[in-house]
Amino acid sequence: MTGASWGVSAAGVIVAALCIIGLRHHRHLPQATHPVSVRAAIFFMFVSADAVAQTALGSYVHSALSWALGVTGGPQSVPAHTAVTIIGMALFASVAIGLAFLPETAVVYLALALPFVLAVAGGHLHQVLYVVPVQQMVTAISQWIGG
């Protein structure tokens, strides 16, 4: 794991922390801007978690989730894969509905968990991670840092 990968992981964690801090104080903004600020937080939280999930820190989170799923036979066993797929679809639907129609602060934290669940799910759900061009951003930041 290169230093650039750790740098991108750190940048993702910093952006997620800034989103959480911003949500704690967004009530001081005018009421009309709340839906926009929550939608921005949902988007940035997903992008930052996706950047972390695809770099060095994400590999540790992925191995921890795989270890936790070891109780049911590992992430590739039928019960675990079914559970992770159902949870991933529910999280994806919740985040999509929250982003489009019902921006709530609880959806922001679901957007934080979504990339990690999708990374463990694999298959077609894993391809959702590539809808937003985060992989290209991660590569560009890594090259800019020097990795």
pTM for the full predicted model: 0.77
DSSP 46: H
> Which pair of structure tokens corresponds to residue 2?
């290169």
Phi/psi at 17 (5° precision)? -65, -40
Gap between the Cα atoms of 69 and 123, Å rounded: 17
Q: What is the pLDDT along the chain (147 residues), one digit of tens a residue?
A: 677 778 888 888 898 999 889 888 888 888 888 888 888 888 888 888 888 888 878 788 878 877 877 776 766 777 777 777 888 888 888 888 888 888 888 888 888 888 888 887 776 666 666 666 666 666 676 677 665
Whether the CB-CB separation of 50 and 8 falls below 8 Å is answered with no
